[in-house]
Amino acid sequence: MSGRPESLFPLFSALEKLDGIGPKTATLLEQIHIGKPRDLLFTLPHSGIDRTRRETVMGADLPEVLTVEVTVGDHFAPKRRGGPYRVNATDAGTAFQLVFFHTRDDYLHRILPPGSRRVVSGKVEMFDNLAQMVHPDHIVPLEDADEIPAFEPVYPLTAGVTQKTMAKAVASALERAPKLAEWIDPAQKAKAGWPDWRAAIAAAHHPQKNTDLAATALARERLAYDEFMAHQLTLALARSNLKRAKGRQTKGSGALQARVLTALPYKPTSAQTRAIDEIARDMAAPVRMNRLLQGDVGAGKTLVAFMALLIAVEAGGQGVMMAPTEILARQHLEGLKPLAEDAGVVVEILTGRDKGRERANKLEALARGDIHILVGTHAVFSQDVQFADLRLAVVDEQHRFGVRQRLELGKKGDGADVLVMTATPIPRSLALAQYGDMDVSVLDEKPPGRKPITTALVATSRMEEVVSHLARAVSEGKQAYWVCPLVEESESVDLTAADVRFKHLRAALGDGVVGLVHGQMPAAEKDAAMARFVSGETSVLVATTVIEVGVNVPNATIMVVERAETFGLAQLHQLRGRVGRGADASTCLLMYQPPLSETGEKRLTTLRETEDGFRIAEVDLEMRGAGDLIGTAQSGLPRFRVADMESQPALMAVAQSDARKLLSDDPDLTSDRGQAARVLLWLMEQDQAIRLISVG
């Protein structure tokens, strides 16, 4: 199918073709992302007004919108300029006034001739003991009374566009809505009780009561499902394209893994064992693995990733582990080294720093297969990096890796399996939206020996108390992080904040005890300051948030975060995860500047109450919304018009399994339902997916 199906042409034509929309209105609507009739259909009313006819305004609970039949009485023009123009009106039970401002009286006499009968609808209020309807929304002769809907939908508006214009344009767009063949699985549709697409779109625009506006109303739920389904079909197509790309069967002997497990001082958690089994199964299959390993701070992802890399080595191949920054790549190397020694495998690092002969030697060893596992930054993507036999790529991702990059990565090794690791616990609904093309393994248990971290909230006024507490801890040989607030305005202010605190602590704790790292330092200096802290030469590290990612100092048991209320929840959770890595009990002090805002308080108390990253992520999602949680600019998250990821995760999950099943039954979408699904992709403007089918 090369182009947009003809049935959809009317929905993709110019807005000006709709009733009541001229070039000016069309330009205004563009501002709220409405550029064609299709966009208008997916812009649903957000509330409604009850305009059921009543006998009289008498006895109503004012102020309220009322609709009554009246006999028009005398007109009273304003006594002074700009004053109110009043028209008496009598309904079946009482008299009240219709009030107008800045209106011409010839026009009012024409629409409200004295003695005539009219149906009026609008907000009635008491004013000086007299009921008044100011500027009625509707005034119609009796024979046209049906024009006033019993329940009138209210649309989101942009300046200069009225509800009447919207209602008229929507009605005109609805006339153009074609009857479309069904893409939903018949059993699913029957079970949910959903209407057909066209009936659903019409019902969503003609609510009869308030409950019809809820996300759970059948018509709306069906339209939300359609959006999720189109998005999940796109991800499923990306996934099946990866799966079709021939994978390699990589089966490990288990020998190297056994050596590591024997040497470990503890037993892996059942979550780790489960994840390793899932990965081993994927690697042994003839299709390519595309799996996400999701684990909270300290859940033991490194061990799982290393076991997967060992499977590649046991099978006679190589593995690569990629990190977004050099400091992280070095940390991975540190973490893997002792394990590699237990297994007897060769691990090397390759970053942008490797130059000349040294680099050439590493590349030769890699091409010969002498290096079993390579750790590196994106530098491992360079043209001149050739593996003898790359079987597995592990990507440690800090949300920098979208679906597109995942497809890129797969091209490097001939059919190499891909394992993506993330330390950010992602609520299920978001994981489905962002990683729906992947299979997911979750590490939801802490390895034994990790002590809980005590989290306390302290007002900044108690700074000196905190400093003397710190002095005591340092004298007992403990180490601490002190994180300075991020000052948005400029990095130089940031610097002063960190600098001032550094000097303050140095004065209190003594020379040579306190180190400093901040974003403005040259990399080498930063590494040196970190190294001094890691080796225990310095006891306190004053830092801006450069330390949140991946640093591992088991002896550090205190984390002080200054002005904690200025940080996000996920960020605070990551920072806290830097302590509690050794055998001693750890503390995290969140210092805040009172008074706390309601959201600030909720963030800090959530952290005090739980260490469960998934729970924290759920609260974060409720508080901030999906786009913010992963930074809208780079989130690659779909923009849904009807569906809501946060409140409808179950619907998203159904759409995911339906999309995957449809593609496994009909990989080229050629069946009747497959053809209907293609129309859905066009309707939802999923161009990327359409290209995937035409390629596939």
Q: Compute the distance between CA of residue 548 and CA of residue 294 in angstroms, rounded to an integer.
A: 18
Residue 72 main-chain phi, psi, to 5 deg: -80, 130
Give pLDDT, residue 633: 33
* Residue 627, token pair as written in the block: 């786009």
Which DSSP state fits 452?
P
* Residue 433, token pair as written in the block: 């939206």
Same fold, 255-443 and 453-610: yes
Find where tokens 């960020």 sit: 571
Q: Compute the distance between CA of residue 217 and CA of residue 224 in angstroms, rounded to an integer.
A: 11
Q: Compute the distance between CA of residue 42 and CA of residue 87 in angstroms, rounded to an integer.
A: 40
Give pLDDT, residue 658: 93
Largest CA distance in the chain: 102
Query: Quick check: 113 and 75 in contact, CB under 8 A?
Result: no
* Sign of the alpha-carbon dihedral angle for 429, 431, 436, 439: negative
Q: Compute the distance between CA of residue 173 and CA of residue 181 in angstroms, rounded to an integer.
A: 19
- From 679, 466, 425, select the one nearest 562 (Cα to Cα): 466
Give pLDDT, residue 383: 74
Give pLDDT, residue 696: 40
Give me the residues of the chain with pLDDT under 50, please.
1, 399, 489, 548, 626-636, 695-696
Selecting from 1.25.40.10, 2.40.50.140, 1.10.3470.10, 3.40.50.300, what CATH number does the domain 255-443 have?
3.40.50.300
Residue 514 main-chain phi, psi, to 5 deg: -110, 135
Q: Compute the distance between CA of residue 677 and CA of residue 671 in angstroms, rounded to an integer.
A: 10
Cα 686 from chain centroid (whole Å): 19
Return the CATH architecture of domain 52-148.
Beta Barrel (2.40)
Q: Compute the distance between CA of residue 245 and CA of residue 234 in angstroms, rounded to an integer.
A: 17
Name 258's Cβ contacts closer than 8 Å, sequence gap at least 6.
Answer: none
Q: Is 261 helix (H, G, I), strand (E, B) or coil?
A: helix
Q: Compute the distance between CA of residue 575 and CA of residue 590 in angstroms, rounded to an integer.
A: 11
Give pLDDT, residue 498: 80
Give pLDDT, residue 569: 81
Q: Domain residues of the chain, as ranges?
A: 6-48+157-214, 52-148, 255-443, 453-610
Q: Compute the distance between CA of residue 489 and CA of residue 493 in angstroms, rounded to an integer.
A: 7
* pTM for the structure as a whole: 0.64
Please tell me the chain's helix, strand, coil percentages from 3-state DSSP, rounded to the nearest 5.
45, 20, 35
Give pLDDT, residue 629: 40
Give the burial string for 217-256 (b: 16+ CB within 10 Å, else e).
bbbbbbbbbbbbbbbbbbbbbbbbbbbeeebbebebeeeb
Which pLDDT tens digit goes with each residue over 114-151?
999 999 999 999 988 889 999 999 999 999 988 888 99
- From 368, 258, 256, select the one nearest 315 (Cα to Cα): 256
Q: Compute the distance between CA of residue 690 and CA of residue 684 in angstroms, rounded to an integer.
A: 11
Give pLDDT, residue 627: 43
- From 114, 121, 190, 118, select the one nearest 152 (Cα to Cα): 121
Which DSSP state fits 566?
G
Q: Compute the distance between CA of residue 81 and CA of residue 302 in angstroms, rounded to an integer.
A: 79
Give pLDDT, residue 292: 87
Peptide bond into 447 cis (omega under 30): no
Ranges of H-type helices in 326-415: 326-343, 356-368, 403-410
Query: Quick check: 575 and 561 in contact, CB under 8 A?
Result: yes
* Residue 568, token pair as written in the block: 């996000």
Give pLDDT, residue 452: 81
Residue type, 65: V
Give pLDDT, residue 402: 55
Selecting from 3.40.50.300, 3.50.50.60, 3.10.520.10, 3.30.1330.20, what CATH number does the domain 453-610 have?
3.40.50.300
Q: Compute the distance between CA of residue 229 and CA of residue 186 in angstroms, rounded to an integer.
A: 14
Q: Compute the distance between CA of residue 274 and CA of residue 287 in angstroms, rounded to an integer.
A: 20
Rounded-to-10 torsion of CA 662, 663, 666, 667: 170
CA atoms within 13 A on the CB side of 164: 5
Q: Compute the distance between CA of residue 551 and CA of residue 545 in angstroms, rounded to an integer.
A: 11
Residue 269 main-chain phi, psi, to 5 deg: -75, 165
